[in-house]
Chains A and B, each alone.
Chain A
């Protein structure tokens, strides 16, 4: 069964710092990988989606990379802001099912 791991579980950085969140998965036979943001008590908001044939996707200050063969993805956030504080989850799709990590809780200190 697919297992998705995210490290670190929590991260605190000063405003303006660049940072990297990590996601790893055990079965490389994925269709795609999606990064989400979740604010406390809320649902998930999709940030970036990378197809299995792609290496990276960019949206504004966010850049996600995918190395399918090694079972890894990273989410790079440039010039972090206090508004970036949230939990970031990654999810891989296999068939019509999705497997989620436990997330990285990010705090950006003003």
Chain B
């Protein structure tokens, strides 16, 4: 079973706040991904990384940033949260030469 963790699991914050969603994996996977998922909708890729110091934007521009200073850690930061950022955020990882993506439990974000 995959070991990929996300904190916090639930977060309610006010508009304009800066927040960081944490994602960590203990499997040594080089590739990591952040997805946004609204109820009943498909997952949208917002950021991905192929390794340390490598980050790319996905199809969905979410006004967020990511960093990959360590292999195991891939945090997502919203500089100024807005109600439109209310969603579930899912982190995933995949190993070198591997096909399967492994997902964390998700962070449910509500911006009031």
Contacts and interface: CB of A to CB of B under 8 A. Distances in A.
Given A4-B42, A44-B90, A96 B48 contact: yes
Interface residues of B, number: 25
A49 B108 contact: no
Contact of B105 (A42, A93, A102): A42
Nearest to B91: A43
B62 to A, nearest CB: 16
Interface residues of A, number: 26
A88 B88 CA distance: 17
A101 interface: yes
Contacts of A32: 99
A56 B6 CA distance: 33
B103 A43 contact: yes
Interface SS of chain A: strand
Contacts of A41: 88, 106, 108
Interface string B35-74: 1000011110100101000000011000000000000000
Interface of B: 6, 31, 33, 35, 40-43, 45, 48, 50, 58-59, 88, 90, 92, 99-106, 108
The 10 tightest CB contacts between A and B, nearest first, are A43-B103, A44-B103, A100-B43, A100-B42, A43-B105, A102-B42, A43-B106, A46-B100, A43-B104, A32-B99
